[in-house]
Structure 1
Amino acid sequence: MDLSQRTVLIVGGTSGIGRELARRFAAAGSTVAVGGRSARARTDLSGEGIDAFDVDVTDEESVARARDAVLDRHPGLDTVVTMAGVMLMEDLRDPGHFAAARTTVDTNLLGTIRVVDAFTPHLIRRGSGTFVTVTSGIAFLPFPPMPTYAASKAAVHAYSEALRAQLEGTGVGVVELVPPAVATGGQEKVNPHALPLDDFAEEAMGLLAQEPTPNEILVERVHMHRWAERDGTYADLVAQRSQALAMLPGRQG
């Protein structure tokens, strides 16, 4: 992928990984827009010369309004990155966890589908373009305190595979970005081993720049997650990660 000649929309790009990718696409010479809910973050990004649009991926009408506004301003849009998401812990022994599960699925999975559906006709009409979906190493190696997060990201992986197959021949590609734990959004406090954001972005952008672009963008740190079953390490790693269940309020003491 030529990173210098794109017109990119990053939905969920007002913070964390998305914001850093937006800056790096812009620095490479691409035209960049972001979508998100934070008015303050949108103002800050606008001050950096990055167009910012209000969008709530859990609201179909909000996504449609954002699509129309983005395409009105950037009719040459060719790359849509959909990465809005939430990470919520749940204790499955407490039925009250269902509210968190519903929010997670509505944002991470259905939010991805809403964004993809909104822009698919545009990209097919232009005969070229790329969707970049964002999953997680947790899609392949669950983190037991976040069961629905893991399930939602595994679902986005499967959806991305099916989307790629269905769009074959249209000129529209599908690339899946698979981050490990990255030191942003508080991850650095929970996980001292989280990959620094700059390191992740540098490696990910290098992989995106390859020709042809890989179907999955896998930085080195995420390989242990992605290939755990293949490498025979899955059961041991899940058992190790299950120790984190002590983080749940109902499991303490």
Structure 2
Amino acid sequence: MPNISDSKCILVVGATAGIGRALAASLKALPSKPKVIVTGRRQERLDELAKQGFETVKADVNADRAGLKQFVDSVVSKYPDLDSVIFSAGIQHEFDFTKPESVNLDNLADELNTNYLAIVTMITYFLPHLLKVASTGQPAFIMPITSGLAIVPGPWVPCYCATKAALHSYSISLNEQLLDTGVHVIEIMPPLVESELHDHQGKSPSLSKVWMPLDEFTNKAMEGLKRGDTFVPIGMAAQGFEKFEKGKAEASHGAFMNMKKVTG
């Protein structure tokens, strides 16, 4: 089974903090010594990572479609050996719909774009290159990071959960469509993890009592990536996956095969 150890060049989108940064460091430390490229919006963080031996690209996933196309084209041009992309960028906002006047629709739109639309757009732009790489026999990987909240929603962050549920559903379908291409989809599904994601909400001090330490999460995620698992649910996300998601991918495969028969 192809796995992340087969990768020669990995791009981590959203790697200046938290999960993305931790995964980038672990990937760089693999015995296979892949080239690891990291992106983010904060130049000072990118400068720190460059000193640690990472390739760096400044990028904002909340750019418009033309900006995302320019970003993808520039990365593929500079790194023609790129074979794997991890999508770690994400934002989270709380919304209280019992007080609809308090709902910030701009934040809602940013959340939808950053967590779902921009990722699907970038995947679409990266795919011609990844398919070409895979056609040479080099395994290629698309690795979206979703959430356990894609399975069991947290009502305090309803739109975040919806974006992650959308990305989870898309990942299942994308994996099915790419099944025979050599481009593999690996979905990483974290539980509540130590992260700056919650800092702007003022919740980090209280959440720190219950979240999974970042190092523990990273180690478990890397185990799944090194096995080449299609789904890498961790902690509470694994419990939700086992209870509610088991068999869904297989059912999706059956539906896809039936549709092919019907439509020829």
Give the superposition deviation at 1:165: 1.4
Question: What TM-score, normalized by structure 1, do the two folds share?
Answer: 0.85
Q: Does 1:49 align with 2:53?
A: yes
**CA separation in 1, counterparts of 2:4 and 2:66?**
32
Whether the 8 Å CA contact 1:78–1:129 is kept in 2: the answer is: yes
**Cα separation, partners in 2 of 1:189 and 1:225, compared to 1, 3 Å:** farther
SS in 1 for 2:56: strand
Question: What TM-score, normalized by structure 2, do the two folds share?
Answer: 0.81
Whether the 8 Å CA contact 2:149–2:237 is kept in 1: the answer is: no
Q: Does 1:67 align with 2:72?
A: yes
- Counterpart of 2:231 in structure 1: which amino acid? E
Q: Which residue of 2 aligns with 1:124?
A: 131
Whether the 8 Å CA contact 1:109–1:153 is kept in 2: the answer is: yes
Q: Which residue of 2 aligns with 1:7?
A: 9
Q: Does 1:102 align with 2:106?
A: no
Q: Which runs of 5+ in 2 are unaligned?
A: 247-264
Please give the per-residue CA displacement for 1:180-218, whole angstroms capped at 9, x wherever unaligned: 0111114642411100000100111011101xx111012
Percent identity, aligned pairs only? 30
**Which region of structure 1 is more displaced relative to structure 2, 1-10 or 85-94?**
1-10
Q: Does 1:172 align with 2:183?
A: yes
Q: Which residue of 1 aligns with 2:253?
A: none
- Counterpart of 2:77 in structure 1: which amino acid? D
Please give the per-residue CA displacement for 1:111-169, whole angstroms capped at 9, x wherever unaligned: 21122012001001122411001100111111111000000000000010111112122
Q: Which residue of 1 aligns with 2:237?
A: 222
Please give the per-residue CA displacement for 1:1-48, whole angstroms capped at 9, x wherever unaligned: 142643100111111100011111111121100111111111111111
**Cα separation, partners in 2 of 1:144 and 1:2, compared to 1, 3 Å:** closer
SS in 1 for 2:169: helix
Give the superposition deviation at 1:227: 3.5
**CA separation in 2, counterparts of 1:228 and 1:167?**
26
Whether the 8 Å CA contact 1:82–1:115 is kept in 2: the answer is: no
**Which region of structure 1 is more displaced relative to structure 2, 183-192 or 114-123?**
183-192
**CA separation in 1, counterparts of 2:184 and 2:7?**
16
Q: Which runs of 5+ in 1 are unaligned?
A: 232-253
- Counterpart of 1:81 in structure 2: which amino acid? I
Instruction: Say how many residue pairs are matched.
Output: 229
Q: Which residue of 2 aligns with 1:137?
A: 148
SS in 2 for 1:114: helix
**CA separation in 1, counterparts of 2:85 and 2:166?**
19
Q: Which residue of 2 aligns with 1:80?
A: 85
Whether the 8 Å CA contact 1:163–1:174 is kept in 2: the answer is: yes
SS in 1 for 2:5: coil
Whether the 8 Å CA contact 2:145–2:187 is kept in 1: the answer is: yes
SS in 1 for 2:240: helix
1:183-194 aligned within 5 A: 183-185=194-196, 186=199, 188-191=204-207, 192-194=209-211
Whether the 8 Å CA contact 2:10–2:34 is kept in 1: the answer is: yes
Q: Which residue of 1 aligns with 2:249?
A: none
Give the superposition deviation at 1:58: 2.1
Give the superposition deviation at 1:68: 2.5
Higher relative CO (CA 8 A, sep ≥ 6), structure 1 or 2? 2
- Counterpart of 1:193 in structure 2: which amino acid? V
**Which region of structure 1 is more displaced relative to structure 2, 122-131 or 59-68?**
59-68
- Counterpart of 1:71 in structure 2: which amino acid? V
